Amino acid sequence: MFIDLGEIKQPSRKIVHAWALKHDFDISNLVSNLFSMEWPPRSGKIQQFSEVDRARWFEVQEAKKKILKGQRPFLERLMQQLDYIPKNTEVAHYFE
């Protein structure tokens, strides 16, 4: 089941869309898609790069430290969608 977490406009004006997946996912099976871009810049050479270089599972407290500040609302939205209440009372005001 996919959970739509909406979109967030980044300070760079890039719009990021996010979804969560409710599934027992083995991250060792992650396969990324590729994207192409000119690299090095102004070289005329087009190279391909992985969109995702690795995947890891984090507790909410750790995820907040790792995720870009501008994308933290995705974590808050996910917690609200799942009615998730942090077990650690220090995290009760996690997003304040």
How many residues comprise the chain?
96
> 65-69: which pairs have CB atoms within 8 A and are 24 or more residues apart?
68/10
In sequence order, what DSSP letters do the residues of 44-94 get, joined into one string?
Answer: --EEEEES--------HHHHHHHS-GGGHHHHHHHHHHTT---SSGGGTTT
Per-domain boundaries in the chain = 2-28+56-91
Per-residue pLDDT of the chain (96 residues; tens, 9 = 90+): 889 999 999 888 999 999 998 888 899 999 999 999 999 999 999 999 999 988 998 888 899 899 988 999 999 999 999 888 776 655 444 444
Say if residue 78 is exposed, middle or buried (CB neighbours under 10 Å; 0-12, 13-18, 19+). Answer: middle
